Amino acid sequence: MTTDNILRTSALRTIDIESQSILALKTRIDSEFEGACELIMASPGRVAILGIGKSGHIGRKIAATLASTGSPAVFVHPAEAGHGDLGMITEQDVVVAISNSGTTEEIMTLLPVLKRKGIPLIGLTGATESPLAHECRYVLDVGVKDEACPLGLAPTSSTTAALVMGDALAMALLEARGFTEEDFAISHPGGRLGRKLLVKVEDIMHSGDSIPIVTAHTSLADALVEMSRKGFGMTTVVEAEEIIGVFTDGDLRRCLDAGKDLHTTRVADVMSANFKHITASALAAEAANIMQKSQVYVLIVSDSDHRLSGILKMHDLLQANII
């Protein structure tokens, strides 16, 4: 067998073993799982995740997923907890301890203190009859038949199973709490999804003196001066506070091609009365959708009475990380 075949065979075997370990979890979504979810939902505090070694890495990810989907959570390193960090866990919290063997010394050392403080414990373990399991109010079985490691030493299938069970717990809680996209956005204001669901047109539009404005009777020459001064490649046309049209550099080129006189031609005679617009309270993501579908790079912002509120450029959306 060639080296390439050996590599591929090993990789496929790993995926097969871990896939089987994940599928085996489906039979373990039972009353213990439901009880764990209900316990967390009823808790006025946070979910404190304990784990050491590879289980600690999994615990950090589970804590992060819970926290970002509506269930406040924190990861606490068991060894550090034994030297002061246990104060991070209060009587209002629920503890989730991850230990494949159910005998992890650093976690077992903490149990008497947690029990004395009356803090409920949920176990993610591969040993449902272990000392850890006997101390837990609910036990989530993440045991695996085989590790993907051919030596049976490196945690592979077992950590994958624990991670998937943690995700299942987080997603069940998310749906039970009625967690929405808007809630997710609030937890992720710096991410693109958060920006799309939170940023409004009024947050990034240009307004006030920065808006190019001319009247219907303005000459093309004066309109060109206003366009050049404001730098949008267009100008709005406003009469009695109502926007009645726009005049763009594309309109200007067509006027020049047609031999229009810049000093005698009025903007009203050559402006575009049909233009894309949006309200200031609309989401910036909606503005991006209009621009992309209409293939325009500037969008007029107006109110329900067609009064000019601002101007939004495609570049503004890019800078705001909306698109």
| Predicted confidence pLDDT, tens digits, the chain (323 residues) | 677 788 999 999 999 999 999 999 999 999 999 999 999 999 999 999 999 999 999 999 999 999 988 899 999 999 998 877 888 899 999 999 999 999 999 999 999 999 999 999 999 999 999 999 999 999 999 999 999 998 888 999 999 999 999 999 999 999 998 887 766 666 655 555 556 677 889 999 999 999 999 999 999 999 999 999 998 889 999 998 899 999 998 888 999 899 999 999 999 999 999 999 999 999 888 898 999 888 888 899 999 888 999 999 989 888 887 77
> Looking at the domain assignment, is residue 91 inside a domain?
yes
For residues 167 and 50, state if they share a domain.
yes
Name residues whose C-beta falls within 8 Å of residue 310's C-beta, 6 or more positions apart in sequence. 201, 202, 205, 206, 207, 211, 280, 301
What's the rounded Cα separation, in Å, for the pair 23 and 234?
Answer: 59
Crossing angle (nearest 10°) for helices 54-68 and 157-177: 10
Residues 212, 270 share a domain:
yes
CA neighbor of 166 nearest in space, from 61, 42, 17, 73: 61
Q: Are residues 110 and 230 in the same domain?
A: no
225, part of any domain: yes
Q: Which domain-ending residue is among 179, 213, 238?
A: 179
Statement to judge: residues 137 and 243 lie in one domain: no
Three-class secondary structure of residue 235 per DSSP: strand
Q: How far apart are CA 182 and CA 179, in angstroms?
A: 8
CATH code of the domain in which 63 resides: 3.40.50.10490
Q: Domain of residue 294: give its range.
A: 201-319
- Report the number of distinct structural domains present in the chain: 2
Residue 287's domain is classified under what CATH number? 3.10.580.10
Q: Within this chain, do residues 211 and 145 fall inside the same structural domain, yes or no?
A: no
Claim to verify: residue 161 and residue 263 sit in the same structural domain = no
Instruction: Give the end of a domain, one of 122, 146, 179.
Output: 179
**Sheet harboring 242-248: ordered strands across?**
213-214, 234-239, 242-248
User: What separation, in Å, do the N-terminal and C-terminal C-alpha atoms of the chain show?
Assistant: 49
Asked if residue 184 belongs to a domain, the reply is no
Q: Would you say the pTM of this structure is higher than 0.95?
A: no
